[in-house]
Structure 1
């Protein structure tokens, strides 16, 4: 595998983020330990990743709901089938 094909893991990206944000940290000047500062930036990265993942899941749910709603628009479909599809779209959209 060439360097161009390499994709870092989430742990590697997190470690780089923490390292880059604490590279010039001076515990003597701040009165805080480097480890505590690294925990702060690690937690920030974790929160960003969780928000990003939730955003991706919400987009996926919206896509599924749209596809289900398109299928439910079939005028030849039985009434109960259409109601079931509408309910399935609601579930997908709400993430229930």
Structure 2
């Protein structure tokens, strides 16, 4: 009889734990849904800002037409430095 009461008490405890966990899961699902709604409402403004920044970057790069000319002159200087054996590169870090 004593074993039966212990087992019955254990079953009741497990049922209480199960209901408590179910409540916790329900609360987390509710919180997740609210966070998703907030994220969706914010995304429109962020998309607008992102598009604006991208258009500004494109305009900035379009203004620099002589970018390739500068790189070609630097490349020539780099080749001259590489060809000279008396120059050694030292890493200061």
Structure 1 length-normalised TM? 0.42
Larger Rg: 2
